[in-house]
Structure 1
Amino acid sequence: MTINPALLLIAGALPVPLLPGRVRAVWMMLLPVAAMAVLWTLPEGVHGGLELLGLQLQTLRVDALARIFATAFILAAFIFMIYALHLRDRLQQTVIPVYASSAVGGALAGDLITLFVFWELAGLSSVFLIWARGTERAYRAGMRYLAAQIVSGLLMLGGVVLHVQSGGGLDFGVLDPTEAGGLLILLGVGIKCAFPLLHAWLQDTYPEATVVGTVALSAFTTKFAVYVLARGYAGTDALVWVGVVMACFPIFYAVIENDLRRVLAYSMINQLGFMVAAIGVGGALGVNGAAAHAFADILFKGLLFMSMGAVLLRTGTTKASDLGGLYKSMPQTMVLCVLGGAYAFPLFSGFATKSLIMQAFAEEHRTLVWLLLLSASAGAFLVAGLKVPFFSFFGRDRGHRVAEAPLNMRVAMGLAAAASIAIGVAPNLFYGLLPYEMDYSAYTVPHVVNQVQLLLLAALAFTVLIRTGRYPREFASVNLDADVVYRRLLPRVWRTGLQGVTHMRDGLAKPLKRRAERVTAVAFRPLRPRGWLGVPWPTDVMVLWVAVLLALFLLISLL
Structure 2
Amino acid sequence: MTETFGLLSPALILILAGLLLPLLKGALRNALFLAAPVAALALVWALPLGPGLVIDWLGLHLVPLAPDNMARIFGTAFGIAAVAGALYGVSQSSVTEKAAALVYAGAAQGIAFAGDLVTLFVFWEILAIGSTLVIWSNGNARAGLRYALIHVLGGVLLFAGISAEISGTGSVALHPMRADSIGRWLMLSGILVNAGALPLSAWVADAYPKASWSGAVFLSAFTTKAAVLVLIRLFPGEPALLWIGLAMAVYGLIYALLEDDIRKLLSYSIVGQVGFMVVAVGIGTPLALAAAALHALAHILYKSLLMMAAGSILRATGETRLSALGGLARSMPFTALAMLIGGLSLSAMPLTAGFVSKSAIMASLAEDHARFYWFALTAVSAGSFLYIGLKLPWFALFGAQRATVAVEPTLSMKAAMGLLCVLILALGCLPGFLVQLAPEIAGVSILTPDHILFQLLMLIAASCIFIGAWPLLQPKAGSTLDVDWIWRELPRLVAPLWRRNLDKLRPSLSVARDALGEGWSGFSKRSILRLSLAGNWPTGQIAFWATALLAIYVLIAAL
Aligned to 2:410: 406
How do 1:423-502 residues align onto structure 2 when only pairs under 5 Å count?
423-434=427-438, 436=440, 438-466=442-470, 470-502=471-503
Listed one character per residue, the Cα deviations across residues 199-240 of structure 1 (whole Å, up to 9, x for unaligned) are 111111111111111111000000000000011111112211
Per-residue deviation, 1:430: 1.1
How do 1:73-92 residues align onto structure 2 when only pairs under 5 Å count?
73-92=78-97
How do 1:291-330 residues align onto structure 2 when only pairs under 5 Å count?
291-330=293-332
Listed one character per residue, the Cα deviations across residues 154-194 of structure 1 (whole Å, up to 9, x for unaligned) are 00100001001111510011132111221111000010001
| Partner Cα separation in structure 2 for residue 228 and residue 168 of structure 1 | 20
Query: Which residue identity is paired with 1:485?
Result: I
Deviates more, 1:166-175 or 1:106-115: 166-175
Q: 1:40 aligns with which of 22, 41, 45?
A: 45
Per-residue deviation, 1:428: 2.0
Equivalent residue of 2:396, what SS? helix
Per-residue deviation, 1:89: 1.4
Per-residue deviation, 1:303: 0.5
Q: 2:219 aligns with which of 170, 192, 217?
A: 217
Query: Which residue identity is paired with 1:151?
Result: L
Query: Which residue identity is paired with 1:21?
Result: G
Residue 29 (1) aligns with residue 31 (2) = no
Contact 2:74 2:112 survives alignment (8 Å): yes
| Partner Cα separation in structure 2 for residue 158 and residue 239 of structure 1 | 20
Listed one character per residue, the Cα deviations across residues 10-47 of structure 1 (whole Å, up to 9, x for unaligned) are 12223222333223223222212211222212122234
Contact 2:60 2:171 survives alignment (8 Å): no
Listed one character per residue, the Cα deviations across residues 257-287 of structure 1 (whole Å, up to 9, x for unaligned) are 1111000011111100100000001111110
Query: Which residue identity is paired with 1:496?
Result: L
Q: 1:275 aligns with which of 274, 277, 280?
A: 277
Aligned to 1:541: none
Query: Which residue identity is paired with 1:498?
Result: R
Aligned to 1:64: 69
Equivalent residue of 1:175, what SS? coil
Aligned to 2:15: 10
Per-residue deviation, 1:394: 1.1
How do 1:120-135 residues align onto structure 2 when only pairs under 5 Å count?
120-134=125-139
Per-residue deviation, 1:480: 1.5
How do 1:85-484 residues align onto structure 2 when only pairs under 5 Å count?
85-134=90-139, 138-167=140-169, 169-343=171-345, 344-434=348-438, 436=440, 438-466=442-470, 470-484=471-485
Identity %: 39
Contact 1:261 1:305 survives alignment (8 Å): yes
Aligned to 1:548: none
Q: 2:57 aligns with which of 52, 57, 60?
A: 52
Equivalent residue of 1:57, what SS? strand
| Partner Cα separation in structure 2 for residue 33 and residue 460 of structure 1 | 44
| Partner Cα separation in structure 1 for residue 366 and residue 75 of structure 2 | 29
Equivalent residue of 1:110, what SS? coil
Contact 1:301 1:340 survives alignment (8 Å): yes
Equivalent residue of 2:326, what SS? coil
Contact 2:261 2:322 survives alignment (8 Å): yes
Equivalent residue of 2:475, what SS? coil
Aligned to 2:550: none
Query: Which residue identity is paired with 1:67?
Result: R
| Partner Cα separation in structure 1 for residue 330 and residue 52 of structure 2 | 53
Per-residue deviation, 1:506: 10
Per-residue deviation, 1:382: 1.3
Change (3 A) 1:487 1:91: closer
Equivalent residue of 1:14, what SS? helix
| Partner Cα separation in structure 1 for residue 170 and residue 272 of structure 2 | 33
Equivalent residue of 2:454, what SS? helix
Contact 2:359 2:444 survives alignment (8 Å): no
RMSD over aligned Cα atoms: 1.9
Query: Which residue identity is paired with 1:500?
Result: N
Contact 2:34 2:90 survives alignment (8 Å): no
Query: Which residue identity is paired with 1:103?
Result: A
Aligned to 2:538: none
Change (3 A) 1:448 1:88: same
Contact 1:333 1:404 survives alignment (8 Å): no
| Partner Cα separation in structure 2 for residue 476 and residue 506 of structure 1 | 47
| Partner Cα separation in structure 1 for residue 94 and residue 135 of structure 2 | 13
Structure 2 unmatched runs, 5+: 511-559
Contact 1:6 1:104 survives alignment (8 Å): yes
Listed one character per residue, the Cα deviations across residues 270-327 of structure 1 (whole Å, up to 9, x for unaligned) are 1001000000011111101100000000000111111000000011110111111112
Query: Which residue identity is paired with 1:271?
Result: Q
Deviates more, 1:483-492 or 1:60-69: 483-492
From the CA coordinates, give the structure whose radius of gyration is larger: 1
Query: Which residue identity is paired with 1:197?
Result: P
Query: Which residue identity is paired with 1:478?
Result: S
| Partner Cα separation in structure 1 for residue 241 and residue 19 of structure 2 | 39
Equivalent residue of 1:327, what SS? helix
Equivalent residue of 1:51, what SS? strand
Deviates more, 1:221-230 or 1:52-61: 52-61
Listed one character per residue, the Cα deviations across residues 413-462 of structure 1 (whole Å, up to 9, x for unaligned) are 11111111111011122121127464223112221101011112212332
Contact 2:73 2:437 survives alignment (8 Å): yes
| Partner Cα separation in structure 2 for residue 171 and residue 395 of structure 1 | 56
Query: Which residue identity is paired with 2:109?
Result: V
Per-residue deviation, 1:464: 4.5
Deviates more, 1:436-445 or 1:409-418: 436-445
Aligned to 1:535: none
Change (3 A) 1:508 1:196: closer
Query: Which residue identity is paired with 2:183?
Result: G
Equivalent residue of 2:457, what SS? helix
